[in-house]
Amino acid sequence: MIQKASASQQTVSDRIADILAERIVSGELAPDAPLRQDHIAHEFGSSHVPVREAFQRLQAQGLAVSEPRRGMRVAPLDERSMREVVEIRAALEALALRHAARRLTPSQIERIEDAVVAGDQAQSFAEWEAANRSFHRELVAACRMPRLLAMLAELQLANSRFAFAATRSAGWQPRSNQDHRQILDALRRGAVDQAIALLGRHILTLERAGGLTEAPGR
């Protein structure tokens, strides 16, 4: 689910951060759960230095917080944070799509289509979320704005965490990716403004729903 560096590029701290992020996003590590440096260093057979570096990355991603007298903990989940993430993501992803749309090649359109099909065929929420993440990543990959793409990756990570939390509460049933297909169809027709409007509406649906229970419908 979480995009990782290749094995040759990963440092020990990268590996620890990626695995802990996966656990936090999926809910294996619950909100407010302690992140104990000694235990994590022991689990990964590392010194404390890469664990501290991993903690810094998790904090930057909004997945962990450091509190006086309580130490490092999994960040809480709350609707105010959800609304903030969704609104920022809607604005930035629309910007990225405006720059990406005119550069999309047939092979990139095909990868977007593959992600839509994978979402339609998903048999579990984890599969659906992986396809959803792939769709949004491929949609804007051609924008050639690495800082913007990095910010969007962090926001998508936060969105995924809200979605997993909602699924644990409300369950999940297979569903079609109608919004994704409409966005893709608009791009194929060269209707960039329509695709951007559809994308913004699609992302903001989570906020308009007014709660975490609607997250899987993104």
What domains are defined for the chain? Answer: 12-74 (1.10.10.10), 79-217 (1.20.120.530)
CA distance 64 to 153: 16
- The 10s digit of each residue's pLDDT in 85-108 is 999 999 999 999 999 999 999 999
CB within 8 Å of 105: residues ≥ 6 apart: 142
Q: Supply the pLDDT for residue 175.
A: 67
pLDDT-derived band at 176 (thresholds 50, 70, 90) equals: low
CB within 8 Å of 113: residues ≥ 6 apart: 184
Q: Supply the pLDDT for residue 78.
A: 84
**pLDDT surpasses 50 at 33:** yes
Identify the weakest region by mean pLDDT among 51-60, 75-84, 134-143, 179-188.
Answer: 75-84
Please say whether the dihedral angle defined by the alpha carbons of residues 160, 166, 169 and 175, taken in this order, is positive or negative: negative
